């Protein structure tokens, strides 16, 4: 009887492992209300890791994710991406944060430190801290030649710590989202050095609806992920300046970064960066 029960438990655990590995960014929300995961200088913390998507891919099939970032298979993300559960994702305000990860308990682990960027939300965590990594990021923790073997392990124990982001050669980019118009403006903020994430975005019009200069910042609302929106009761007067505040309270202003002839689904690269 005990032997049969043991075999049933093992079978159930095996099935759960498969379910978690293949697409565990989706599922029924589970909330672990823990906040110290995003603090700098907290040292290495324990976590569990899974992976999803193609074995050598960037995670989501569309190379995007719940943060709104696009082309995460390309530089600077380079497929080294991860879903984070709520203490890491932070209802979208953790989007773009950078974490070092390493594993050494599994025989296929190298123990080398790798850096990943949070680009997606993990709705179905298996631990207090759960990184659902891209196949590329998960395999990067393996010893040479053992990438696939490590991926076959399914769920593994890892360690992690938050670190500043560093995007050499890049300034902060603003992608005006599809659907933006003269009374609705939505923008994706990306490539922020240091904290890597944004907790507030404000917009200043070039002039008021009555023709005079404004000098007034209007708070935008977080739409989803790293996308911020402004619903206006008047036609917005471009060019726009954007002010962003990072997790640690640093503020940066990109003056007139959105031109008068802006268009939806377009990128506007600033000349500013956190330092």
The string of pLDDT tens digits covering residues 95-136 is 999 999 999 999 999 999 999 999 999 999 999 999 999 999
Residue ending a domain, among 139, 162, 185, is 162
Question: Is the same domain home to 156 and 260?
Answer: no
Domain around 126: 34-162
Question: Is the same domain home to 142 and 188?
Answer: no
The answer as to whether 184 is a domain residue is yes
Question: Is the same domain home to 84 and 183?
Answer: no
Question: Is the same domain home to 261 and 192?
Answer: yes
CB count, 10 Å around CB of 218? Answer: 13
The answer as to whether 142 is a domain residue is yes
Question: Is the same domain home to 151 and 191?
Answer: no
Q: What is the pLDDT of residues 148-187, one digit of tens each?
A: 999 999 999 999 999 999 999 999 999 999 999 999 999 9
Residue ending a domain, among 129, 162, 195, is 162
Question: Is the same domain home to 111 and 181?
Answer: no
Q: Distance between terminal CA atoms of the chain?
A: 64
Question: Half-sphere exposure of 192 toward its Cβ, with a 13 Å CA cutoff?
Answer: 33
What is the CATH number for 58?
Answer: 2.40.40.10
Question: Is the same domain home to 40 and 155?
Answer: yes
Q: How many domains does the chain have?
A: 2
Question: Is the same domain home to 135 and 208?
Answer: no
Burial label for 89, CB within 10 Å (0-12, 13-18, 19+), is buried
The answer as to whether 207 is a domain residue is yes
Q: Report residue 116 CA to chain centroid gap.
A: 9
Record the pTM.
0.85
The answer as to whether 19 is a domain residue is no
């Amino acid at each position: 009887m005990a032997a049969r029960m043991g075999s049933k438990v093992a079978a159930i655990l095996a099935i759960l492992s498969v379910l978690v590995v293949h697409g565990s960014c989706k599922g029924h929300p589970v909330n672990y209300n823990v906040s110290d995961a995003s603090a700098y200088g907290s040292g290495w913390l324990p976590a569990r890791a899974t992976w999803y998507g193609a074995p050598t891919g960037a995670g989501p099939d569309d190379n995007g994710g719940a943060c709104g970032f696009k082309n995460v298979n390309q530089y600077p993300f380079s497929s080294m991406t991860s879903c984070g559960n709520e203490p890491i994702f932070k209802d979208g305000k953790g989007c773009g944060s950078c974490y070092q990860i390493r594993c050494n308990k599994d025989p296929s682990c190298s123990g080398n430190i790798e850096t990943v960027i949070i680009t997606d939300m993990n709705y179905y965590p298996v631990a207090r801290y759960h990184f659902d990594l891209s196949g590329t990021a998960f395999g990067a923790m393996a010893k040479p030649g053992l990438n696939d073997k490590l991926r076959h392990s399914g769920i593994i124990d890892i360690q992690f710590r938050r670190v500043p982001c560093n995007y050499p050669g890049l300034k902060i980019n603003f992608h005006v989202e599809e659907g933006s118009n003269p009374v609705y403006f939505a923008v994706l903020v990306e490539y922020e050095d240091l904290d890597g994430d944004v907790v507030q975005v404000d917009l200043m019009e070039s002039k008021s609806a009555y023709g005079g200069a404004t000098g007034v910042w209007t708070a935008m609302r977080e739409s989803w992920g790293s996308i911020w929106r402004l619903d206006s009761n008047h036609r917005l007067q471009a060019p726009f300046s954007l002010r962003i505040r990072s997790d640690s309270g640093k503020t940066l202003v990109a003056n007139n970064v959105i031109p008068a002839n802006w268009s939806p689904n377009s990128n506007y690269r600033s000349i500013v960066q956190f330092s």
